[in-house]
Structure 1
Amino acid sequence: MSDPTSMSSAAHVYKRLVPQPLRSAAAGTVPLRVRRKVKRGLARTLGRREARLHRRALRRVRKAEFGHSERRITAPDGRVGHIHTGLTIDLARRLDHDLVTFALDAADIPWFAVPALDDRRICLAVEQRDKGAVRRALRALMEEHTGYVVSVSPAKSDTETVPASHLKAWKHFGKAKVIRLTWLRTEPTENLWVGEDQGIEIEFWTVNTDLPQERLVGPRPNRVQRTVPSDALGIEIGLDRLSGYCDIDGDMDPTITLENFDIPRLEEITFPVDAVLLWQDATPWGEELLRAALRSLHQYAPWVDVVHVLAEAPVPGWLRADDRLDIVRAAPGAERALHQLPDLADHFLLLRPGALIGRPVRPFDYFSPHGATRPRRGPWNAEESFAPWTRAAYTATGRVTAHGYTAGPQPYRRDTLARLAAAGTTPPEPADGQRLPAVPGTHPMDGLVHHFGYVEGLADPSGEASVLLHAALPGIENRLERLLVRRDTQQIHLFGLGSEEAHRRGGTDAVHDFLRRYFPVASAFEHGEPEDPDTHS
């Protein structure tokens, strides 16, 4: 029998060709065995046609030899995964997009990108009348590049473990208004898996002729509009305009959308954002923290424009300046004058030693579209209320503080720092968080700058949770393993790697192993041979 989910299945064709009155009459006059014989003959004919079309689509995919992984592997849940050296989440997203659009183009199926509600995924739209051709093209693609398909609308996830090259993976396709295609990808160490919460979604748009101008209607809302003219002009657009998680160089490899969707998103950040990393401890564990910070930006914040390393100590040999990395020699305490840093963007992230990004983030997670910073609130207690930074903040603004600010990557504005400096306000001298015996409270500079920005309308504190861990914490290995397995923490800050207690308990070594497993892919900022097995000593 032909596939019942196909738009040209025997049942579908039989109902389309034979009117309902005639089918009812035949049921009462034509013997059952005759009707079954006719249907079986029709099913065989359609099955041969479907197989021929599938082979044709498969030849087109194989001929292109596009997007092959280095090798296939079995994922922890038993599904098929693909290994790619140097894998990043953004690279996986672009590879998924290119695979699907290639298959649609090869089958001459028109499509356009849609600004979906979920920023993690790229959404493509095709017309409902091309649904059968879409299934054949994508099933052929999945036979060469093993992936998975589920129905998003209506939601049906029981096929998520069935390879999409199998017919039974498409059993909900006939009624689906939106489907999602996913590929599981990893790097050679298999510590980083990508694809489970990403993928490419395909919406089936219908043609509406009720109005004088023919229109296409989407099956669900999106961030711009659900209805567009059927003759709307197609234009190129960077993937970074469709997803806030994408690299800022998305316009170098654009996709196609309709001119009606070329509208700035509500949460879209249009100004450049840099990153500043402090390099203070020329020690093996200091190098590990610097390398991990660079890798976290490379993996989870590809939209960062230029990375500035503020070097208060000799930089490692594997770190060299290039177009996207600037090394600035500085004296201790230079972070209090970051607004004087040459060529620094007006908005930037400050990553002190131990501050890391733990999962994909967007510029909107740290800045509002009109430029205000969005620092994270921290715990508030008696010790915080009497801290030196609270007195400095009150002196600078005349307003008392009501909450602290947590550690981790910090969003900053140059003009906030410049206005504080012009007022003659200097943050209290901070202690080295990597040598303290416990996790510190609000960093004095963060507390003063963020409180000043809040009072002046330049900051809007948010409540996104962060994880702060001290390397001397008993049972640190279990805490780190939990972070590694879940990978759901946006901000991580590790303290105390230079403390005597952490070295004595083995916490420094445990953090080193955790960083190598959590960030296994070398960043674009590393040169030479950074993988030194002795760097954790």
Structure 2
Amino acid sequence: MRLSKRLRHDARRTGVRLVWSGRKVRAAEVTEGLTPSVARATNLLRVCDVLERHGIPYFCVRSNSVTMTAVAVPARERARAERALRVSALAEGALLAGGTTGGRPLHADQRGSWSQLGEESILRIWWLLTDPTGHWTLGPNHACVIEFWAEQGGLLIAPVPNLTATAVVAAENPVQVPVSHFTGPISGAVGALPQVDTRSEFTLSLPDEVTFPVDAVYTWVDGADPEWIRRRANALGQTDYHEQAISAARFTSRDELRYSLRSLHQFAPWLRTIYLVTDGQVPAWLNSAHPGIKVVHHRDIFTDPTALPTFNSHAIESQLHHIPGLSDHFLYFNDDVFLGRSVTPGEFFHANGLSKYFPSNALVPMTPPSPEDPPSEIAAKNNRVVIAGTFDRVLTQKMKHVPHSLRRDILQEIEERYAAEHRLTQHSHFRSPSDLSITSSLHHYYGQQTSRSVTGKIRYTYLDLAAPNTGRHLNRLLAQRDYHTFCINDTVDDPDTAEARTAMLKTFLESYFPVPSPYEQPGPVSSRPPANQVDAYRSAQHPAPRPL
């Protein structure tokens, strides 16, 4: 492929990498710690900086888009704003298009680009940003939308709808708020955030906004730890458990937790604190000193210490609401569950506190529990008995393998109302016929019957590493990145294929989540350019940008 002179020039600049954007190869800025929130903030702040430096009035708007930001400029200032954005040093490398979606990208530093879009009432401008490995590039989906508001009768009138106000007083003075008011929390941001201009109408909290804190909880085990293996063998003894209850595949760690945490950092920076519940184990790579993550030992949450040690996820999950300091609303993750795109708290909770749950099309068999049933199925049938006995309702659906939206008050009420069943679950060292599956099913049905949980919708997929077509599905997932969340499970304990399954998973996860989270110990990344080169490029090309 023959590259244009412009691209060859761009490629020689320090801190730039050539990437595919649509059907073209373009130059993208290498950006440390790249996440969607960083891309949104970068695009918004650059536009605001240019307008401020040229004395052009503007105000940020609460956009209808989850991924893009918006800036309003009085229509009478359009010519000045376009020229300022075109001649600014920031314009080199910026791309421009009309409307809120679609449109052929044009170079923002060329007069003809702006002329072509002269009839458009809204424009999009963005910079292509890529992570140091080149695996991930963010562009038009995180653009800053420039809206030109017409003046009429002393009011400025919006050209398109937004979340708050389509008309504001033209003469009113702007107010300043942190940029995160329009981008959402910014991954990795430390200290005070830059301020941007807006109008008072866009500073108000709306009825459907989730404003309460939401934490995340993981349960994790290192199944290769010799001391843990010894404890498990002693607990197992001669008892005859179902094969799935004691399968080594249930406890195998392929570093999924590292990448699941990366997914939270990239796609849910609004989470307050992450709690990692373990049997005294800590991953070697974990930065446990980071204030945003806390390691919790089983003994700190089990109400009856005689139930320990336990190797039963049902038992551990029955105690999560006892985590000290845990928020009243939280998400529960298994380490094989990942966020696949930006999500908001509203995906999991309503603003009035109701939690959402996500039923599967798979049904719980109507047959009585049997020793041949998988332990998860027996627990679901036990849940059905409990719900039917209390509410005269028969649950039939399983739940999707997604982050579970949980409330501490519901979990506490279940513990008190079904004390005998709850105690049996807590004291089962391995998955047993008496178990309840509380966090993944019973909580949701109990909450629904007590008017505290409702069904929700989320784009989700489930993949089994042992399935023959999993590699093709992983490639599709990597290319499209269109699921809110996905689960990659391993249901086969086959040592002959374990290495191949691990390699396939590792390649996929490193490509999908290339940006290390702050929850990892710092380590070298071979493909990362020297930090001083990146800083030198930014200083040379973008004078005085506001830091994130």
* TM-score computed with the length of structure 1 as normaliser: 0.77
Q: C-alpha deviations, 1:504-531, integer Å up to 9, x for none?
A: 4822321121111111110011114398
| Corresponding letter in the other structure for 1:367 | F
Residues 244 and 363 in structure 1, CA contact (< 8 A), matched pair in contact too: no
Match of 1:255 in 2: 196
Number of aligned residue pairs: 449
Deviation at 1:385, TM superposition (A): 7.5
Q: Distance in 2 between matches of 1:531 and 1:310?
A: 29
Match of 2:238 in 1: none
Match of 2:87 in 1: 140
Q: Is 2:160 the partner of 1:231?
A: no
Match of 1:521 in 2: 515
Alignment of 1:55-134 (within 5 A): 70-75=15-20, 77-134=24-81
Deviation at 1:236, TM superposition (A): 2.3
Q: C-alpha deviations, 1:239-270, integer Å up to 9, x for none?
A: 44335575697973332211122222343111
Q: Distance in 1 between matches of 2:76 and 2:525?
A: 53
Listed as ranges, the gaps of 5+ residues in structure 1 are: 1-67, 436-441, 533-537
Comparing both chains, which one has the higher relative contact order based on Cα–Cα distances under 8 Å and sequence gaps of 6 or more?
2
| Corresponding letter in the other structure for 1:447 | S
Match of 1:63 in 2: none
Listed as ranges, the gaps of 5+ residues in structure 2 are: 1-12, 226-251, 299-308, 369-380, 527-548
Q: Distance in 2 between matches of 1:338 and 1:307?
A: 13
Alignment counterpart, residue 509 of structure 1, candidates 500, 503, 516 = 503
Q: 1:509 aligns to what SS in structure 2?
A: helix
Deviation at 1:281, TM superposition (A): 2.9
| Corresponding letter in the other structure for 2:514 | P
Deviation at 1:156, TM superposition (A): 7.4
Alignment counterpart, residue 343 of structure 2, candidates 361, 368, 392 = 361
Q: Distance in 1 between matches of 2:192 and 2:210?
A: 15
| Corresponding letter in the other structure for 2:219 | L
* Closer/same/farther in 2, CA of residues 283 and 107 from structure 1, 3 Å limit: farther
Q: 1:171 aligns to what SS in structure 2?
A: helix
Match of 1:205 in 2: 149
Q: Distance in 2 between matches of 1:261 and 1:248?
A: 25
Q: Distance in 1 between matches of 2:347 and 2:367?
A: 27
Alignment counterpart, residue 282 of structure 2, candidates 315, 337, 340 = 315
Alignment of 1:144-293 (within 5 A): 144-152=91-99, 157-158=103-104, 160=105, 162-209=106-153, 214-243=154-183, 252-283=193-224, 286=253, 288-293=255-260
* TM-score computed with the length of structure 2 as normaliser: 0.76
Q: 2:454 aligns to what SS in structure 1?
A: coil
Q: Distance in 1 between matches of 2:413 and 2:186?
A: 33
Residues 17 and 28 in structure 2, CA contact (< 8 A), matched pair in contact too: yes
| Corresponding letter in the other structure for 1:281 | D
Alignment counterpart, residue 266 of structure 2, candidates 261, 278, 299 = 299
Q: 2:140 aligns to what SS in structure 1?
A: coil
| Corresponding letter in the other structure for 1:208 | Q
Match of 1:53 in 2: none
Deviation at 1:221, TM superposition (A): 1.6
Q: Is 2:328 the partner of 1:346?
A: yes
Q: C-alpha deviations, 1:432-451, integer Å up to 9, x for none?
A: xxx9xxxxxx9653111110
Q: C-alpha deviations, 1:276-318, integer Å up to 9, x for none?
A: 1111234496251110111010000000011111112511222
Comparing 246-255 with 521-530, greater Cα deviation is found at 246-255
| Corresponding letter in the other structure for 1:374 | K
Comparing 174-183 with 354-363, greater Cα deviation is found at 174-183
Residues 325 and 525 in structure 1, CA contact (< 8 A), matched pair in contact too: yes
Residues 151 and 178 in structure 1, CA contact (< 8 A), matched pair in contact too: yes
How high is the sequence identity, in percent, across the aligned residues?
26
* Closer/same/farther in 2, CA of residues 200 and 424 from structure 1, 3 Å limit: same
Q: Distance in 1 between matches of 2:193 and 2:395?
A: 45
Q: 2:71 aligns to what SS in structure 1?
A: strand
Comparing 511-520 with 384-393, greater Cα deviation is found at 384-393
Q: Distance in 2 between matches of 1:502 and 1:482?
A: 26
Q: Distance in 2 between matches of 1:248 and 1:373?
A: 27
RMSD between aligned residues: 2.9
Deviation at 1:70, TM superposition (A): 2.5
Q: Distance in 2 between matches of 1:316 and 1:294?
A: 12
Q: Distance in 2 between matches of 1:514 and 1:429?
A: 36
Q: Is 2:292 the partner of 1:324?
A: yes
Residues 339 and 418 in structure 1, CA contact (< 8 A), matched pair in contact too: yes
Q: C-alpha deviations, 1:190-211, integer Å up to 9, x for none?
A: 11111231100011112222xx
Deviation at 1:459, TM superposition (A): 0.7
Deviation at 1:85, TM superposition (A): 2.1
* Closer/same/farther in 2, CA of residues 74 and 379 from structure 1, 3 Å limit: closer
Comparing 191-200 with 414-423, greater Cα deviation is found at 191-200
Match of 1:8 in 2: none
| Corresponding letter in the other structure for 2:264 | L
Q: C-alpha deviations, 1:432-491, integer Å up to 9, x for none?
A: xxx9xxxxxx96531111100111111111132311111111122111111111111111
* Closer/same/farther in 2, CA of residues 145 and 398 from structure 1, 3 Å limit: farther
Residues 233 and 259 in structure 1, CA contact (< 8 A), matched pair in contact too: no
Q: Distance in 2 between matches of 1:350 and 1:228?
A: 42
Deviation at 1:365, TM superposition (A): 0.3
Comparing 247-256 with 74-83, greater Cα deviation is found at 247-256
Q: Distance in 1 between matches of 2:123 and 2:281?
A: 52
Deviation at 1:174, TM superposition (A): 2.1
| Corresponding letter in the other structure for 2:103 | S
Match of 1:378 in 2: 360
Q: 2:141 aligns to what SS in structure 1?
A: coil
Q: Distance in 2 between matches of 1:345 and 1:298?
A: 18
Q: 1:481 aligns to what SS in structure 2?
A: helix
Q: Distance in 2 between matches of 1:466 and 1:403?
A: 16
Residues 358 and 490 in structure 1, CA contact (< 8 A), matched pair in contact too: yes
* Closer/same/farther in 2, CA of residues 303 and 488 from structure 1, 3 Å limit: same
Deviation at 1:501, TM superposition (A): 6.7
Q: Distance in 2 between matches of 1:107 and 1:156?
A: 29
* Closer/same/farther in 2, CA of residues 462 and 530 from structure 1, 3 Å limit: farther
| Corresponding letter in the other structure for 2:291 | D
Q: 2:458 aligns to what SS in structure 1?
A: coil
Deviation at 1:98, TM superposition (A): 1.4
Residues 210 and 346 in structure 2, CA contact (< 8 A), matched pair in contact too: yes
Residues 152 and 178 in structure 1, CA contact (< 8 A), matched pair in contact too: yes
Q: Distance in 2 between matches of 1:484 and 1:281?
A: 27
* Closer/same/farther in 2, CA of residues 370 and 360 from structure 1, 3 Å limit: same
